[in-house]
């Protein structure tokens, strides 16, 4: 049964995508919280230089030496980027835009000059081909397993072990690096630990799924979960579920429409983000629009209260409490004036008595607070 599972092409394609998605979501959660998500893009491109450098030095295109060498290149990218940003000569976004194109270009030039006849191509690094992962097999515990699955499974286990071992420290360093440093948790070391694992995961993923899908899984599911969740553990759990859902839905739609599998998986991750961006209950665009509308209506109701208070017990009180006067004096449209009256009524600020708007006790207190705060 195990051999039949690993011999199933659809199962191996899905498993590869899910392993990348899980690793990306676990590490990407901390990168998104710290505002360092775009360093993933820099790492994923600069490892090209590490791949070709290790090949020139050792002749190996895969294996632990390749993983370590390319991962160190990713860490070097981060070190150079942060050093350039700390110089205050350029901002962090500009530093990223300066460092990783330079390292990526150097890698492309070395491939063009020294590796023209080697199975090492820039397109394979960026795009990969998840549909062919089943062709490269290695024996694990007596079972034929795709190399990508074995490598990514080991990398995922390493990522999970790191996160579980330093959960408390990573949580504090993500939300309050200053306090973490004061307590001796070494947030800088933890940050570089996460980025090192990100580099290792990028190297493990690039041949199977390419850098583009890896970047999508590191950034998009955690960013989507950030819109939906308030707690770290729930954010990571939702990010993991979204990554898995992206793989399953993306693979099914790719087969249906005969398009790129990796591209459709990344597109599904983007679709979940768009839906969350629109409909997230607290941070979504709809919720923000409703909140702004409520704040505007509250402001209008306070303006109504102030208007009624200034004309309270005056000879023109009856005239000033009419809808027409409100639209003329306050410059409101009739629908806006009616909405302000309803809002003030719902809040218990005004009532209608003998056809006139009058302030209730709560409305009087609100007006006194408004005029008491005025100079």
Average pLDDT over the chain reads: 87
Give the Cα separation of 297 and 343 in Å (integer): 7
Longest CA span, the chain: 97
Where in the chain are all domains bearing CATH 1.10.10.10?
286-373
The domain at 2-283 falls in which architecture? Orthogonal Bundle (1.10)
For β-strands 143-146 and 137-140, DSSP reports them as: antiparallel
Give the Cα separation of 36 and 24 in Å (integer): 14
Phi–psi pair at 185, nearest 5 degrees: -90, -5
pLDDT confidence tier of residue 375, bands split at 50, 70 and 90 = very low
pLDDT over 90 for what percent of the chain?
43
Residue 373 has pLDDT above 80, yes or no: no
Residue 115 has pLDDT above 70, yes or no: no
Give the Cα separation of 214 and 210 in Å (integer): 7
| Structural fold of domain 286-373 | Arc Repressor Mutant, subunit A (1.10.10)
Residue (of 322, 273, 239) closest to 21 by Cα position: 239
What stretches of the chain adopt beta strand conformation (E)? 137-140, 143-146, 350-353, 356-359
Q: pLDDT for 13-26, tens place per residue?
A: 999 999 999 999 99
The first and second tokens of residue 272, run together, are 């979940």
Q: pLDDT for 272-310, tens place per residue?
A: 999 999 999 999 999 999 999 999 999 999 998 988 888
Cβ atoms of residues 246 and 269 within 8 Å: yes
pTM, two decimals, is: 0.86
Residue showing tokens 């990796």 = 262
pLDDT confidence tier of residue 118, bands split at 50, 70 and 90 = low
Residue (of 64, 48, 156, 59) closest to 111 by Cα position: 48
CB atoms within 10 A of CB 125: 25
Cβ atoms of residues 148 and 208 within 8 Å: yes
Give me the numbers of helices (H) and strands (E) for the chain, helices first please: 18, 4
Residue 36, classed as helix, strand or coil, is coil
Q: pLDDT for 144-183, tens place per residue?
A: 999 899 999 999 999 999 999 999 999 999 999 888 889 8
Where in the chain are all domains bearing CATH 1.10.3470.10?
2-283
Q: pLDDT for 190-228, tens place per residue?
A: 988 998 899 889 888 876 787 778 999 999 999 999 999
Residue (of 318, 182, 163, 180) closest to 237 by Cα position: 163
Residue 251 has pLDDT above 70, yes or no: yes
- Chain Cα centroid distance, residue 293: 27
Residue (of 166, 128, 127) closest to 27 by Cα position: 166
The predicted pLDDT at position 127 comes to 55
**Torsion of Cα atoms, 28 then 32 then 36 then 39, to 10°:** 40
């Amino acid at each position: 049964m195990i051999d039949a599972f690993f011999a199933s092409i659809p199962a191996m394609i899905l498993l590869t995508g899910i392993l990348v998605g899980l690793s990306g979501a676990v590490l990407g959660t901390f990168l998104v919280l710290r505002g360092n998500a775009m360093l993933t893009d820099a790492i994923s491109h600069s490892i090209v230089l590490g791949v070709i450098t290790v090949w020139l030095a050792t002749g190996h295109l895969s294996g632990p030496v390749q993983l370590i060498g390319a991962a160190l290149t990713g860490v070097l990218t981060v070190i150079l980027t942060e050093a350039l940003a700390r110089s205050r000569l350029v901002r962090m976004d500009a530093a990223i835009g300066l460092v990783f194109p330079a390292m990526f270009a150097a890698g492309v030039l070395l491939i063009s000059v020294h590796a023209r006849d080697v199975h090492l191509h820039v397109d394979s690094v960026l795009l990969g081909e998840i549909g062919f992962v089943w062709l490269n097999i290695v024996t694990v515990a007596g079972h034929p397993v795709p190399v990508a699955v074995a490598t990514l499974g080991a990398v995922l286990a390493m990522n999970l072990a790191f996160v579980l071992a330093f959960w408390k420290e990573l949580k504090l360093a993500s939300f309050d690096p200053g306090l973490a440093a004061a307590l001796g948790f070494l947030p800088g070391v933890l940050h570089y630990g996460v980025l090192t694992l990100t580099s290792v995961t990028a190297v493990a993923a690039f041949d199977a799924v390419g850098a583009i899908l890896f970047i999508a899984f590191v950034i998009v599911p955690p960013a989507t979960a950030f819109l939906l969740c308030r707690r770290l553990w729930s954010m990571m759990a939702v990010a993991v579920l979204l990554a898995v859902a992206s793989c399953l839905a993306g693979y099914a739609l790719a087969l249906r429409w005969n398009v790129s599998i990796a591209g459709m998986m990344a597109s599904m991750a983007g679709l979940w983000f768009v839906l969350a961006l629109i409909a997230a209950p607290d941070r979504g665009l709809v919720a923000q629009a409703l909140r702004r509308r409520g704040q505007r209506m509250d402001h209008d109701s306070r303006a109504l209260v102030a208007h009624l208070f200034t004309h309270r017990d005056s000879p023109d009180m009856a005239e000033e409490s009419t809808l027409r006067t409100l639209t003329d004096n306050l410059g409101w449209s009739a629908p806006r004036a009616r909405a302000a009256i309803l809002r003030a009524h719902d809040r218990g600020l005004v009532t209608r008595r003998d056809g006139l708007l009058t302030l209730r006790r709560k409305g009087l207190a609100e007006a006194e607070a408004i005029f008491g705060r005025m100079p």
